[in-house]
Each structure stands twice: as structure tokens, then as C-alpha cells.
Amino acid sequence: MSISDPLNLTSNWVGSDVCSYTGVFCAPALDDKSIQTVAGIDLNHGDIVGYLPEELGLLVDLALFHINSNRFCGIVPPKFNKLKLLFELDLSNNRFAVVFLKLF
């Protein structure tokens, strides 16, 4: 959840067409090519203030998650350990209290 987004990177994050959101990248689902699914999120250098909602752990096809150089705080949701396709994770230069992920 964003508390402050000075560059308005998430200003178009409304409605159900998440594949059109700035910084969100979609691809065909591995188990059903007819379905588009969120495969990547890239919000690097956005100066965004906020925390990561638990619901991010529901993006089971997420392969790339880049949010470096923002001001996210709190913890990385424990459900991130369920993201089996996560290949690139960059949480650097934020304000997380603790980052523990069991990726395997």
C-alpha cells in the first residue's frame, strides 16, 4: 500500500485491468496460456512511501519484483515464501525492519 507516491507511478492503479498499470508486467500463465497473469512488478526509484500488503503473496506467477530505492517500511510479507517462480527480487534501499525470506 502506498502512502506517498511523489512521481505518481501508481496513479493509474485503478480498475480491474492490472496489466495496464504502470510498472506491472503481465504474461500468459504457465498452466493456461489463455490467461494473462502478473509476472513482474518494477517500481524502482519511485520514492514511494508505504508498506507491502500481504496480498502480494497471492501473485503466484510473479517472477520479478523490483522496488529498490523507495521508502517502503515494515516487513516483507511472509507469504512471499510461497512465490515459487520468483527469480529476481530487489528490495534494496528501502526501510524494511527485517527481511527474511525462505525461497527454497
Beta strands in 1-104 (DSSP E): 2-4, 24-28, 36-42, 49-51, 64-66, 71-75, 88-90, 95-98
34-79 pLDDT, tens per residue?
A: 999 999 999 999 999 999 999 999 999 999 999 999 999 998 888 8
pLDDT given at position 65: 97
Query: Is 104 a domain residue?
Result: no
Is residue 16 a part of any domain in this protein?
A: yes
- Structural domain contains residue 64: yes
Q: How many domains does the chain have?
A: 1
pTM of the model: 0.87
Where in the sequence is the domain holding 29, given as residue range(s)?
2-98
CATH number at residue 62: 3.80.10.10
Average pLDDT over residues 80-84: 89
**Residue 84 domain-assigned?**
yes
